[in-house]
Amino acid sequence: METCYIFITGGVVSSLGKGIATSSIGVLLRARGYRVTAVKIDPYINVDAGTMRPYEHGEVFVTADGAETDLDIGTYERFLGIDLTRANNLTTGQVYQTVIDKERRGEYLSQTVQVIPHVTDEVKRRIREAGQLANAEIVLVEVGGTVGDIESLPFLEAIRQMRFDCRDRTLYLHVTLLPYLGTSEEYKTKPTQHSVATLRGVGIQPDGIILRSKSPVPDEARHKIALFTNVEARDVFNSYDADYVYAVPEILEQQGIGRFIERRLQLEKVTPELRGWQEAVRTLREPDDRVVIGIVGKYVAMPDAYLSLIEALRHAGIANRAEVRLEWINAEALVAGDLTRLHTLDGILVPGGFGIRGIEGKVLAARYAREQQVPFLGICLGMQVAVIEYARHQAGLEGANSTEFDPYTPYPVIDLMPEQLDTADLGGTMRLGNWPMQINPNTILAKVYGPAANQGLVYERHRHRYEVNPAFADALQVAGLIISGTTPGMRGRGAGLIEAIELSDHPFFLGVQSHPEFASRLMRPSPPFRSFIEAAVAYHRQHQPAADLRA
């Protein structure tokens, strides 16, 4: 079949959940047997999300090929169960950079370079290319931001033009907020009417509308919206707040959105296979156990900064039939030494990050987990913090630190590697994307990955600059730290980079230099997270009253 394109736009306010709606549609199409990919268009001028503040933009998601992208790419991967690439995240910065480079090379043959057709042609080229690279039958394209934003106008024009290029192989869906006014006890449809009017003003008539609301919308409001937006009432859908985001695909399917897409794109009628999703949601709603996991981090006021990590814990909870409750702990608050918030935890996780703020609080959390035998998982910086703590208090390296935080530390157990020190532009020193890890046999890590390891080798995604300094490997191992994973020499970066550490005299103490959360899937939870939650469940059963297990 020829490639079809579904374009998803948003209205009224941003952060509506367009990514969840897009991903849910992808789930329903994949469950019908179609090859699907998804593209996120971000109208900001940044080339990628790598330098953007987590407090403003949420996490930076890293693809297997090393692209630093918008967090929606992670949502697509988790829902669709596929790996995306840098081609799936398109930004204004990328488009204009390419157009300007072409102009400088003379590829436009002295033409006056303009938004139409040069910028819009580049946008369309990239959308088609993403579909071709994935060999996709259906390409979902989410336009970030809100209709009416000046930044998104070139992209809206590009997707408008694609209806003329592809005709009956295009579909437009508009996601809008339907606010509920408590004083009059009614849903207000006017914002949606105005939003669709704005979209029609740039030449796009939506084929269907997805209403975001707190609770199910009455038919009266749906029919009113249909009347004023020139959309059939049966094509107005409602994505109301669900207890779990993984319930959204079935909510939309029950309303007929799958049949709507089949009808509009002239696809064969197929009953989707959703039993795996339904079972996962049932497990979330009716777990056998519960655990409380403390996340000791820097951006705890903005959970979206740890979105993939949160979902990886949820996937691991499903695999262990356990509810995972999160306790957000600001690392800076621990610096004073008050660790009472750690006392009721079934597991402690220190996530990745950059910068010195809160580091000593993370060190204290790692020490508490080690000494009190609480299950511990360190991710990227979290592993480095565990190494710093062990070096100071077990290996006799008083004052050990990372040169990122103390350039004059007497024991730089975490440091830039020599080839990185030669690079003036620190942006070029990052380890990004998939890197191999050789797992040492007879370790916790070997048990964690089990059959998932191919001859003891696995690939996980990375996003970091500093490494555990191999010069201190012997001293750390003599003191009892186990180095259970290393990276073979690749890409001219040297050999034997330390990828994972663990302790043998502990129920579960594991640190990994990678970000395994990026590859976690609903049906395929990340092995380190799955084993961490398994250990947390065992700890909870041992330390909490039996009656509390199903509380």
Q: Which residues are catalytic?
A: 380, 515, 517
3-state secondary structure of 482: strand
149 in Cβ contact with 133 (< 8 Å): no
Contacts of 304 (CB under 8 A, 6+ apart): 54, 58, 59, 71
Cβ(225)–Cβ(231) below 8 Å: yes
| Burial degree of 421 (CB within 10 A; 0-12, 13-18, 19+) | exposed
In 3D space, the residue among 45, 22, 55, 18 whose CA is nearest the CA of residue 144 turns out to be 18
Q: In terms of DSSP bridges, do strands 4-11 and 170-177 run parallel, antiparallel, or are they unpaired?
A: parallel
443: left (phi over 0), alpha (psi -120 to 50) or beta: beta
The SS3 assignment for 266 reads coil
Q: Could you write out the three-class secondary structure of 483-547?
A: EEEEECCCCCCCCCEEEEEECCCCCCEEEECCCHHHHCCCCCCCHHHHHHHHHHHHHHHHHCCHH
Distance (Å, whole) CA 536 – CA 551: 16
Q: Write out the two tokens for 79.
A: 């829902």
Location of structure tokens 């395929």: 524
Helices (H), 336-489: 359-371, 381-393, 418-421, 444-449, 473-478
Within 10 angstroms of residue 121's Cβ, the number of other Cβ atoms is 14
DSSP-assigned states of every residue in 291-320: EEEEEEES-TT-GGGGHHHHHHHHHHHHHT
Cβ distance 355 to 285 under 8 Å? Answer: no
Cα–chain-centroid distance for residue 321? Answer: 22
User: How far is residue 220's CA from residue 385's CA, in Å, rounded to a whole number?
Assistant: 57
Rounded-to-integer distance, Cα 175 and Cα 195, Å: 10
Cα separations (Å) of 190 from 15, 21, 177, 183, 233? 19, 22, 10, 16, 16
Question: Look-up: residue for tokens 């084993």?
Answer: 531
Comparing CA positions, the residue from 387, 412, 499, 403 lying closest to residue 448 is 499
For 40, 95, 154, the CA distances from 44, given in Å and listed in that order, are 12, 11, 12
